[in-house]
Amino acid sequence: MSEFTGMPLIGDQFPDIEAQTTNGKLNLPKDLSGKWFILFSHPADFTPVCTTEFVAFQKRYEEFKKLNTELVGLSIDQIYSHIKWIEWIRDNLNVLIEFPVIADDGEIAKKLGMIHPGRGKNTVRAVFIVDPTGKLRAILYYPQELGRNFDELLRMIKALQVADGEKVAMPANWPNNELIGDRVIIPPASDYKAAMYKKDKYDNYDWWFCHRPLQ
């Protein structure tokens, strides 16, 4: 029987991981307690799509840090490969990768369900967004041939932080929603009295679709 290689689910606590990275040892989520972080895997070093992704992440690294968010990369490559690839990016593309990149022997990828079916030991383009309490808040998977949208990852962090801070939900394409712009959605009422109260208190399309500006 093959070994189970499942993955944690949204709402689960991120599993404890000890890893060697390009910036030294890292224990997740312990070392980043109190911060949001994005753990993202890439299929392999010295590949063109992955190179564009690393540059895209680094270009936005300061924006993520302003949101109290750290970045951590991962692939099943040796630390020497990671270092040499980072050197290549610096020397040829004039971009210095500052965030840590985990050198995985495959155990972490198996633990998180990152192994690409039918692609040997290559990891999928997985994204795990983890909040300051160590809870998994979002999980995304991309095929090898499709690079990720890093502005969307920034949007997700911003939206999750607003949702947590204001106890609201976020509309599609926030902050550029086609119906309510950058406003936020009030959670629906669970009884008649609350429904009528919310309908009177907030702008709405109906009692179950109330919205307000950001506070």
- Structure-block tokens of residue 7: 């993955």
Q: Are strands 69-75 and 36-41 parallel, antiparallel or unpaired?
A: parallel
Distance CA 184, CA 174 (A): 8
- The catalytic position among 19, 28, 50, 102 is 50
Residue 210 designated active-site = no
pLDDT at 174 over 50: yes
Average the pLDDT over 63-92 and give the result.
Answer: 97
Q: pTM (2 decimals)?
A: 0.92
Residue scoring higher pLDDT (110 or 152) = 152
pLDDT at 172 over 90: yes
| Angle ∠(160,161,163) on CA atoms, nearest 5 | 60
- Domains of the chain (ranges; CATH) run 17-148 (3.40.30.10), 167-215 (3.30.1020.10)
pLDDT digits (tens, 9 = 90+) for 126-151: 999 999 999 999 999 998 889 999 99
